[in-house]
Each structure stands twice: as structure tokens, then as C-alpha cells.
Amino acid sequence: AQSVTQLGSHVSVSEGALVLLRCNYSSSVPPYLFWYVQYPNQGLQLLLKYTSAATLVKGINGFEAEFKKSETSFHLTKPSAHMSDADEYFCAVSEGSQGNEKLTFGTGTRLTIIP
């Protein structure tokens, strides 16, 4: 069974500082990994995804994540936080192939930016 653990339900960083949101996964097969952002009272927008190509994945809004198989991690980073980055972020894992793409999500990390 696949699972995701997001360490830290709340993370606060100063504007301009490094953002680091942690995600560890468990999967019995090579995983597909995703980071989504959820805007208030809205659905989820995909930030980036890892699908067994390059281990360093670049996404939208300056975010990137590195897949580390030895650590079973897929942490999300951004070099310089902006006030507009304050939202909730979810890490997710999928083991499926086309037509069988169940996503298992972590419990989320709420990012607060301190002016």
C-alpha cells in the first residue's frame, strides 16, 4: 500500500527566505510523486510531478522538488518565499498506470509567510 507523510502541518518562513516543505512516501513499486497547492475554498492545482525521469523536477511559481529514492523523500523547495506563496500544499503518490491512477495524499502543510 502506498502512503505519504508530510512533516509539519504548519510551516512559517520570512519573506525572501528559503521554503522547504517535507514529504516522505512509501510505495511498493516505483512511484509517481506530485505536489499540489490548494487555494482557499478551491480545488487543487498541480505544482510539479515526478514520473521517473529527472530526479530534480521544476514546477510552476519557482518551486522545485528532488526525488531521493534512498531517503524515500520528495521535498518541495523554493529559494525565496513570496507573500503569494501562503497556501496549503499537499504531497501525493500514485502507483497506477493509465486508467488506474489513484492518488494518495498527505495531510497537508499550511505555509505562512512572515512579512
Name the residues that contact another protein, by CB under 8 A.
4, 32, 36, 41-46, 49, 51, 90, 92, 94, 96, 98-108
Q: Which is nearer to another protein, 42 or 84 (CB)?
A: 42
Q: Which is nearer to another protein, 20 or 39 (CB)?
A: 39
Q: Whole-number minimum distance, CB 15 to another protein, in Å?
A: 26
46: its cell numbers: 498541480
**Shortest reach from residue 56's CB to another protein, in Å:** 18
Q: How far is the CB of 76 from another protein (least distance, A)?
A: 15
Q: Which of residues 62 and 108 has its CB atom nearest to another protein in the complex? A: 108
The smaller minimum CB distance to another protein, of residues 66 and 88, is found at 88
Cα–Cα distance for residue pair 38/46, rounded to 1 Å: 9
Q: How far is the CB of 1 from another protein (least distance, A)?
A: 11
DSSP string, the chain: --EEE-S-SEEEEETTSPEEE--EEE-SSPPEEEEEEE-TTS-EEEEEEE-SS-SEEE-GGG-EEEEEGGGTEEEEEESS--GGG-SEEEEEEE---TT----EE---EEEEEE-
